[in-house]
Amino acid sequence: MAQSLQGKVVSTKATKTVVVAVETFVPHYLYKKRIRKTTRFQAHDEEEKCTVGDYVEIDPSKPISKTKRFTIGEILRKSDL
């Protein structure tokens, strides 16, 4: 993936890592109804400024660890919590 994605931060338990849930809509293969598909990406948060519930933009980067391939681009909307 060479594009920026937008999603919601669902976990900040790891150090300098956040888990971002990105929702996309894909058509059902037979009935063509749009189905919501959620994919979770781990993203690098160097300054640890994200909190659970924030909407963020994640940008692709070189592999940082076994599962981290994204960095936090910007926080689009802060959480109300």
The model's pTM is 0.90
Which two three-digit tokens encode residue 66? 């076994």
Q: What is the pLDDT along the chain (81 residues), one digit of tens a residue?
A: 568 999 999 999 999 999 999 999 999 999 999 999 999 999 999 999 999 999 999 999 999 999 999 999 999 999 887
Domain chopping of the chain, boundaries: 5-77
User: How far are the Cα atoms of 1, 4, 41, 58, 78 from residue 69, in angstroms, in the given order?
Assistant: 10, 12, 8, 10, 23
At the fourth CATH level, the homologous superfamily of domain 5-77 is Nucleic acid-binding proteins (2.40.50.140)
- CA 47, 60, 51, 65 torsion-angle sign: negative
